[in-house]
Each structure stands twice: as structure tokens, then as C-alpha cells.
Amino acid sequence: MAKLIAQNVTVSFPLYHGESRSLKKTVFAAASGRLGQDKKHRLVVEALRDVSFSLKTGDRLGFVGSNGAGKTTLLRTMAGIYEPVAGSITIDGAITALLDPGQGMNFDLTGNENIRLRALFSGYPESEITRLQADVAEFAELDQFLDLPVRTYSSGMVVRLGFALATAIKPQILLMDEWILAGDASFMDKARHRLETMVRGADILVLSSHSAEIIMQWCNRVIWMDRGQVRADGTPEEVLAAYLPPEQFAQVKAAADVAV
């Protein structure tokens, strides 16, 4: 059973503004006896403050919030990339994070080579890699493009490759940032279908999006992030009712009801 727990997570970014980051400044500061002061006066941006929640199998969580509310930082922290300065993250289950379309792919390597690297990272044996390449090729409809360097792809193709790859690895926990919405309409349908089968496999999905429609359709729990803190946590209807302006919420709700 998959599990993801965040406990009083605090993340802060040090601001080494321009020059103070360089060795020159540090050495000069030390020489003039200002190192201690420099250290104390180090500016930090508190990206996340005391964030707690717990996800279990079957949860599909959506994050809403304005730009800079800490949604992407929180996703990165949940993926174990940023280690919190206080609090803890517990990850139980294979996790994949779709944070940006590039996803650490090497754009000079071909699609197939990038698939191989990802498969090795996930500990796949050689026999599985070929199967995975076929699976990604079929789903992303990239066929012969997989033998070309990724930098020759259109941005939509990169998104398709990234999405196909991340979901083909069969994560138990999938973290997604909103860029997935960059796909064209027919791909969106396919992506939806793939995610549905994945989530039917009773795993965890975490989605960060500015689109209330997507959140309404895909999630059964929503957290509203505001200036690095959890402002509200509840069902999509509860949270979106508070988050969205009334007339916009009515619109979204009407659209969702029609969809059912």
C-alpha cells in the first residue's frame, strides 16, 4: 500500500544574492572579519512553512494557489529532491515526479537512450527495457522519432515523451505539475485514460494546477496553498468554493455536473 506523509515540513531557500555567493566575497569577508555577520545576515526565503498532510492509497490530491504559493516546491519536496530544513517526508512506494517536461532528460541523446537511462534508474533488467521502449513509442506516437536526439522534438513531443515515460514506469505515487496540460486535445484524452488506469490501480496521484476544471475532474481532495502554508484542506467542492470567486466556482461546478 502506498503512503505519503508530510509532517511539519519547512523548506527555505538561501539567497546568495549575486556576489555573496562567490568565493571572493567570502574570502574578503573573512579577511575583514565579517564572515560571522555575513552568515547571520544570510537571507532566506521561506518557501514552505509547517506543511502537514497525509496521503494514502486511492487519494488524488490537487494543489491550488497563486503563483509563488509553494506548489512546485512542495511537489519537489514530496519527491525527495529538496530535503526539508525541519519536519519530515515519508514516502512508501515507488514515486515518479513529472515536474518539468525535460525531467532531467539529456536533450542531445535520442528518445530511446533517454528511456534506457530512466529504466536503469528504476532498476529495470535489460529484457524490460526493450518492452518499455516499445510501450513508450506506442503511447507517445513517436515511432521513428525515438531514434533522433530529443532536441529535435517539438515541445509537444517532449511533453508526450515525458508523460509516457513517467507513467510507463508504473509508479505507485505520481506527482504532476501543470505542464502536462500543454498537450493537444487528443493527447489529453489519452493521458487522462492512462492516468485513470493508473489511479484505478489504487495508487496516489498529486496534481498541481491552475485549472479548476482539471482539479474538479481529477481529484478527490484539494489543498489550497497560500504563501507557503496550507490555507485549506478538504474536498474539491469545499476548497474551490472558498478559493475561487463565487461566479467562477458556479461555472466550474456547472461544467463538472454536466460532465457527470
Partner 1 sequence: MNLIVPDHGKAEISRQHSAATSRPPIVIAPSRGWRDGFTLAAADIAETVRLWPLVWTLSFFDIRLRYRGSLLGPFWLTLSTAIMVASIGFLYAKLFHQDVSAYLPFLAISLVLWNFINTITSEGATCLTQSEGMIRSMRMPHSLHAARVVMRNVLVLGHNLIVIVVVFAIFRTTPNISAFSLIPACLLWAVDGFAVCLLLGIFGARFRDIPPIIGSIMQIAFYMTPIMWSPTMLMHRGFAIALVKLNPFFSLLEIVRGPLLNMPLEPEAWTTALAYSAVLLLLTTIAFIRARSRIPYWV
Looking only at residues 54 through 73 of this chain, which bind partner 1 when binding is defined by CB under 8 A?
Answer: 57-58, 60
Give the strand order in the sheet containing 173-176: 95-98, 173-176, 204-208, 60-64, 221-226, 229-234
* Strand-pair category, 229-234 with 221-226: antiparallel
**DSSP E strand boundaries for 30-153:** 43-56, 60-64, 86-92, 95-98
Q: DSSP characters for 196-219?
A: HHHHHTS-EEEEE-S-HHHHHHH-
The residue from 122, 130, 229, 251 that contacts partner 1 (CB under 8 A) is 122
Cα torsion 199, 220, 213, 210 to 10°: value is -90
| Cα 68 to Cα 203: distance, rounded to the nearest angstrom | 28
Q: State yes or no: residue 241 binds partner 1 (CB under 8 A).
A: no
Phi/psi region, residue 93 (left: phi>0; alpha: psi -120 to 50; beta: rest), is: left
**Which window, 151-159, 181-189, 190-198, 225-233, contacts partner 1 (CB under 8 A)?**
190-198
* Secondary structure (3-state) at 33: coil
Instruction: Answer yes or no whether residue 147 interacts with partner 1 by CB under 8 A.
Output: no
Regarding 13 and contact with partner 1 (CB under 8 A), the answer is yes
Q: Does 108 sit near partner 1 (CB under 8 A)?
A: yes
Interface region with partner 1, contact rule CB under 8 A, candidates 35-43, 150-158, 170-178, 226-234: 170-178
Binding test (CB under 8 A) with partner 1, winner from 3, 34, 210, 231? 3
127 touching partner 1, by CB under 8 A: no
- Identify residue 4 by its one-letter amino acid code: L
Q: Interface with partner 1 includes 152 (CB under 8 A)?
A: no
Site size toward partner 1 (CB under 8 A) is 71
Residue 181 contacts partner 1 per CB under 8 A: no
Q: Closest distance between partner 1 and the C-beta of residue 230, in Å?
A: 19
- Chosen residue from 150, 161, 203, 225 binding partner 1 by CB under 8 A: 203
Q: Which residue has the cell 515518479?
A: 96
Question: Which range, of 31-39, 151-159, 201-209, 225-233, touches partner 1 by CB under 8 A?
Answer: 201-209
What is the closest distance, in whole angstroms, from the C-beta atom of residue 228 to partner 1 in the complex?
Answer: 15
Binding mask 211-240 for partner 1 (x = CB under 8 A): -----xxxxx--------------------
Binding to partner 1, residues 23-52 (CB under 8 A): 23-24, 26
What is the SS3 string spanning 142-189? CHHHHHCEHHHCCHHHHHHHHHHHHHHCCCCEEEECHHHHHCCHHHHH
Least distance to partner 1, CB of residue 217, Å: 6
Using CB under 8 A, which of 38, 128, 147, 189 touches partner 1?
A: 128
User: Which string of DSSP letters, residue by residue, matches 214-250?
Assistant: HHHHH-SEEEEEETTEEEEEE-HHHHHHHHS-HHHHH
Q: Which stretch binds partner 1 (CB under 8 A): 88-96, 136-144, 182-190, 225-233?
A: 88-96
